[in-house]
Amino acid sequence: MWAITFLLVSQPVAARPHEARIALTFDDLPALTILNDQAYVDYLNLMILRGLKRHHFPATGFVNEGKLDELQRDRQIANLQRWLDAGIDLGNHTYSHESPNALGAEAYIADIVRGEPVTTGLLRPYGRRLRWFRHPYLETGFPASVKRTIDGWLSTHGYRIAPVTIDADDWEFAEPYDDAIARKDVARQRRIKAEYLAYTARRIEWSIRSGRVLFRRDIAQVMLLHCTRLNADSIDDLAALFRRFRLRPVSLDRAMRDPAYRTPDTIADKEGTDWLERWAILKHRDLPEAGDEDPPADIQAAYDQVDNDRR
Ligand SMILES: [Zn+2]
């Protein structure tokens, strides 16, 4: 009996009928938070990693090395090490989280290079090197010549661009959530989390439907999340959403074997455009309007409030 139970739980979950793949990506490591509190950052990293392990979810983390000196450098680096110890790959998210629209191609590439040394050093003992790149704000360069220069540099330096097809603006919920925790306002904390999960459900559904409009089938999705306390507290709820939408978390490598990701990205746009929208422009298709709304007005107002308070 024990042996059978052990076998059942230790086997990888077989794909259920109509189950599609999803890759989970976490940006802004070591953390995105308004609280300058190293213990808070350490805790949320631990809880995200514990949650991913509990659900056997692969993931990829994207580092801003510029954040290392914002708190205690050694403990910030220890947080990155925890992700690698958990078997999760780390990618580059630039040093300072600037937009290519602000920097231009040359300075933007310099900012990518500046974001490499610590992560490269941490990957070395694993026999690995930096191979994933995620653009801050999903801004990939404008005009087209800037994008081409950046794309060309990334490709000759062994980087693959990590696209995004599910973006639930989690950062906008995460900062008011931090603020609610700081103020010990548990009721508000609960409300924000409930709104976040409801909004995320609508965004996941929209991305699935948009994938079907573009490719006439369920494509593997790539979800953008941030390394936040909100997500640390939401892993079980996110897992429930993936079950509800029949999505099975896989590695970014695995998800990107989906032929959808061979679609060229030739869109040079000033806005941070997700990859479904890029493909829609390329294929001259309209994506569903329903489900393509911004986060709730009270969350946007709460974000602006928290952001103003910090200035
Ligand atoms: Zn970011």
pLDDT digits (tens, 9 = 90+) for 55-80: 999 999 999 999 999 999 999 999 99
| Structural domains of the chain, with CATH | 19-309 (3.20.20.370)
Tell me the pLDDT band of 224, cut-offs 50, 70 and 90. very high
Out of 83-97, 201-215, 268-282, pick the least confident.
268-282
If you measure from the C-alpha of residue 62 to the centroid of ligand 1, how many angstroms do you get, rounded to a whole number? 8
Out of 14-18, 249-253, 286-290, pick the least confident.
14-18
* Each residue's pLDDT tens digit, 146-174: 999 999 999 999 999 999 999 999 999 99
Q: Which residue has the higher pLDDT, 124 or 6?
A: 124
If you measure from the C-alpha of residue 94 to the centroid of ligand 1, how many angstroms do you get, rounded to a whole number? 9
- Orientation angle between helical segments 73-85 and 38-54, nearest 10 degrees: 0
Kindly tell me the sign of the dihedral angle through the C-alpha atoms of 130, 134, 139, 142: positive
If you measure from the C-alpha of residue 26 to the centroid of ligand 1, how many angstroms do you get, rounded to a whole number? 9
If you measure from the C-alpha of residue 7 to the centroid of ligand 1, how many angstroms do you get, rounded to a whole number? 39
Whether the Cβ atoms of residue 291 and residue 206 lie closer than 8 Å to each other? yes
3-state helix, strand, coil in the chain (%, to 5): 55, 10, 35
Q: How much of the chain, in percent, has pLDDT values that exceed 70? A: 94
If you measure from the C-alpha of residue 262 to the centroid of ligand 1, how many angstroms do you get, rounded to a whole number? 24
If you measure from the C-alpha of residue 13 to the centroid of ligand 1, how many angstroms do you get, rounded to a whole number? 31
Residues forming beta bridges with residue 61, ordered by sequence position: 26, 90
* Each residue's pLDDT tens digit, 240-260: 999 999 999 999 999 999 999
pLDDT at 7: 47
